Amino acid sequence: MSILIILILAIPSYFLSKYVLKKLHLGNEKNRKLIAIIPAIFLSPIIYFGLIYLWIFSVSYYPSNDFDKQEWETNIEERYKMSEDIMESKILIGKTKEEITELLGKDFYSYNQNHIAYGIGFVPGLFNIDPDVLDIYFENGKVTKVLQHQN
């Protein structure tokens, strides 16, 4: 299937190569047709893999928003948009569990006394079938580390 797509991409690549060769005054009309085959052979797979990369990037992209307490509480399935800001700004570092629950709410999973996690929804991705969580780790009752991972 991919070979068929590459061959289909070779057609416009060939005509583009032929046009560029004509504009650069390389070769004559007869040999331009033959010379244009070479760039078409090399450009077609490059274009094909470029399109695949572009598609993967577009599927995996999502915007990152600043943390907003009201948005965090109301839009549970899109918390992942704010998780990057929470981790980068380190707003949770040094806070107690009570301060965390006041800021993020009481709907967390408690793994043990030193580790809780908040569900942040499904981060857009190519094969993403599991929801992500925001892990919060405590040492001596204060937050020391905040990470995000797929559940």
pLDDT at 34: 87
pLDDT at 141: 92
pLDDT at 139: 95
pLDDT at 32: 86
Check the CA dihedral 58-125-109-114 and report its sign.
negative
Distance of CA 91 to the CA centre of its chain: 24
Whole-angstrom distance, CA of residue 123 vs CA of residue 131: 7
Whole-angstrom distance, CA of residue 74 vs CA of residue 72: 6
Whole-angstrom distance, CA of residue 80 vs CA of residue 69: 13
Residues of the chain with pLDDT under 50: none
CB atoms within 10 A of CB 92: 20
pLDDT at 79: 92
pLDDT at 61: 76
